[in-house]
Chains A and B, each alone.
Chain A
């Protein structure tokens, strides 16, 4: 079984500042890792994913995440946030070979202030 811990429930940040949303996981098998974003009153959308290969993965809107196997982490970063990045962000994990079952973290609410 897998579990995911998102260390911060809320992260307030000013516009154009950098941000890091932290995610740690536990698993007895190899994993796939994901970040999903949920804008107000909407469903979740896939932001980026790590399946294999390069440990640094990027999204089309400037976010990046790095898979760190030794620290069992998959932190999400953005060097300069915009008001439009205000949303809730969920880290998720699936065990390799576990079908398509995702285990989600509790979520981090990113609040970008002008």
Chain B
């Protein structure tokens, strides 16, 4: 089915480990986003990519890096995981001219112990 695919769905990391969250969309969207969701805080933007080859920081970028590998894929990397990064991570993409019609993936639940 067309949409935004995130892998993995669940992950447990030890403090200091690194990992990459993968996101791919098959809708030919230009813009892609990474959010984290924490209880009572809604979704906060980590990084975004307005188009292939560009990335920009969002509200909470510290401790993360991103790569827009091509138009389809936008990955999020944690170089040295910390317990404060325990969260649910959502990737989203946006169709040009859709007036904020984001398509979200189903999320990655990350626990850092």
Chain B residues positioned under 8 Å from A51 (CB to CB):
99
Interface of B is mostly: strand
- Contact check: which of A42, A46, A94 meets B101 at CB < 8 Å? A46
Find out whether the CB atom of A90 lies under 8 angstroms from the CB atom of B90: no
Contact of A32 with B100 at beta-carbon distance under 8 Å, contacts A43-B4, A43-B105, A44-B90 already known:
yes
> A101's closest neighbor in chain B, by CB?
B45
Find out whether the CB atom of A9 lies under 8 angstroms from the CB atom of B44: no
- Contact check: which of B40, B41, B92, B106 meets A42 at CB < 8 Å? B106
Contact of A49 with B99 at beta-carbon distance under 8 Å, contacts A43-B105, A43-B106, A100-B94 already known:
yes
A106 nearest CB across to chain B (Å) = 5
Chain A residues positioned under 8 Å from B92 (CB to CB):
43-44
> B4's closest neighbor in chain A, by CB?
A43
Find out whether the CB atom of B42 lies under 8 angstroms from the CB atom of A106: yes
Q: Does B104 contact A (CB under 8 A)?
A: yes
A26 nearest CB across to chain B (Å) = 15
Contact of A102 with B105 at beta-carbon distance under 8 Å, contacts A4-B42, A43-B4, A44-B43 already known:
no
Binding site for B on A (CB under 8 A): 4, 6, 9, 32, 34, 41-46, 49, 51, 90, 92, 94, 99-102, 104-107
